[in-house]
Amino acid sequence: MNIISYNVNGIRSAISKGLIDWIKEENPDVLCFQETKAQPEQIDTSLFEALGYHCYFHSAEKKGYSGVGILSKTKPDNVVIGMGNPKYDSEGRVIRADFGDISVMSVYVPSGTTGGIRQDFKMEFLYDFTTFIHNLRLSYPKLVISGDYNIAHKPIDINHPERQVGVSGFLPEERDWLTDFLESGFTDSFRAIDPSPEKYSWWSYRAGARTRNMGWRIDYHLISQALVAQLKHAAILSDVVHSDHCPVSIDLT
């Protein structure tokens, strides 16, 4: 099973930049989207269905904001929208699809870059998400949690970490949360395969950051320990440009 996660920063914009042709060429088994920024009626699912995909989306109540989705070649046994918490579900942040004994989730963690209330909201989400996942894992031990976590975990995951002190996305409390989450029984699939530096998944649109590879690695496939033995490959597809993020990929046997 090949699973790709991609924050498209507006699915309609990404489609206008050639997203459909790229999906046709890449042909993943499962594709997790974040930040679709569209209501269901604004997404032309026929474009994906023509490529053989079943389509599931969870949009934010606020138009042009957030939103997640899952495309899959195989029809899921079960699809679950949201976390069962209106505070987060109104923002379209979580969707899950089950395939046999493997459950795949697309998650878009809130950004705290505006500070204050939204940073507090981000931390509340993270801790509530931990509880949600640990309860879910009792029923679905083989979990793939794919998405934009808006956290660069370690100094190797961000350009010039010494310049990022006090910046949301690299705050000690965010990084500690991710450390604790991994230690609770999850693996950062990319780092299990590739320990090299300067591998990023997001670049600011400003100051030619992508050209200079001044990026952050904030997009992950976190897999539960029950799946580690099935991890075959992981990659960051940094040459794919429909967004300020790029896709991240894993292969499971």
The string of pLDDT tens digits covering residues 228-239 is 999 999 999 999
Pairing assessment for the beta strands 142-148 and 102-108 based on DSSP bridges: parallel
pLDDT classification of 113: cutoffs 50, 70, 90: confident
Q: Is 148 a catalytic residue?
A: yes
Catalytic pick among 77, 148, 157, 188: 148
pLDDT classification of 114: cutoffs 50, 70, 90: confident
Q: How far apart are the first and last CA of the chain?
A: 6
Mean pLDDT of 240-252: 98
For the cut 90, the answer to whether the pLDDT of residue 183 exceeds it is yes
To the question of domain 2-252 being in CATH 3.40.50.10140, the answer is: no
- Is 237 in contact with 246 (CB distance < 8 Å)? yes
Q: What is the dihedral of CA 167, 195, 14, 48, to 10 degrees?
A: -140
pLDDT the model gives residue 21: 98
Domain boundaries, the chain: 2-252
pLDDT the model gives residue 167: 96
**What whole-number distance in Å separates Cα of residue 186 and Cα of residue 144?**
9
pLDDT, tens digit, for every residue of 26-84? 999 999 999 999 999 999 999 999 999 999 999 999 999 999 999 999 999 999 999 99
